[in-house]
């Protein structure tokens, strides 16, 4: 992309559980389940420890899948000539949208007015952006994106 950036935003999904928190949570759960398994084995309930192990495995798998989703990134760049949106995943980057700045509009649309989609629109086509953001963050991002597009159209170098 040529010229100055009027916006270069990277949007990432929020994940409240850090790597350290994940390790602590799984360790505590494993310890509790291991102690429970010992109690059940002493009582003669041999199948129960297998289900306790399955429980830890299922939770670990679910948290790992959720964590992998947190590695996704969405990048929105606005220059005087074009708007470029792409999604970066652990597998690589993929272009979602590329359009001329002069003809692209920013719109909050959707059937659900409480949680509208932020879309970039051009000639009846559109792409939803900033889905990882909350409603309030998405509305703020829409306003910032609209300002960046307006400045880019005007060629305003004062960011």
Strand partners, 73: 88
Question: Domain locations in the chain?
Answer: 7-13+72-154, 19-69
Q: In angstroms, what CA-CA distances link 33 with 12, 21, 28, 51, 54?
A: 34, 18, 9, 10, 10
pLDDT (mean) for 6-24: 91
The predicted pLDDT at position 157 comes to: 57
- Over the stretch 134-151, which tens digit does the pLDDT of each residue have? 888 998 999 999 999 999
Question: Would you place residue 108 in the very low, low, confident or very high pLDDT band (cuts 50, 70, 90)?
Answer: confident
At the top level of CATH, which class does the domain 7-13+72-154 belong to? mainly beta
- Over the stretch 49-84, which tens digit does the pLDDT of each residue have? 999 999 999 999 999 998 888 888 999 999 999 999
pTM: 0.73
Q: Which two tokens stand for residue 17?
A: 């559980």
């Amino acid at each position: 992309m040529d010229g100055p950036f009027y916006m270069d935003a990277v949007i990432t999904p929020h994940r409240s559980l850090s790597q350290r928190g994940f390790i602590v949570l799984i360790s505590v759960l494993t310890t509790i389940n291991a102690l429970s398994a010992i109690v059940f084995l002493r009582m003669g309930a041999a199948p129960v420890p297998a289900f306790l192990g399955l429980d830890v495995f299922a939770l670990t798998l679910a948290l790992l899948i959720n964590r992998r989703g947190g590695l996704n990134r969405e990048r929105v760049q606005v220059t005087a000539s074009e708007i470029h949106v792409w999604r970066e995943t652990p597998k690589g980057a993929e272009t979602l949208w590329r359009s001329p700045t002069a003809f692209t509009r920013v719109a909050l649309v959707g059937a659900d007015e409480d949680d509208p989609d932020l879309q970039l629109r051009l000639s009846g086509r559109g792409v939803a952006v900033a889905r990882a953001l909350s409603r309030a963050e998405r509305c703020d991002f829409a306003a910032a994106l609209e300002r960046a597009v307006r400045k880019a159209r005007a060629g305003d170098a004062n960011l």
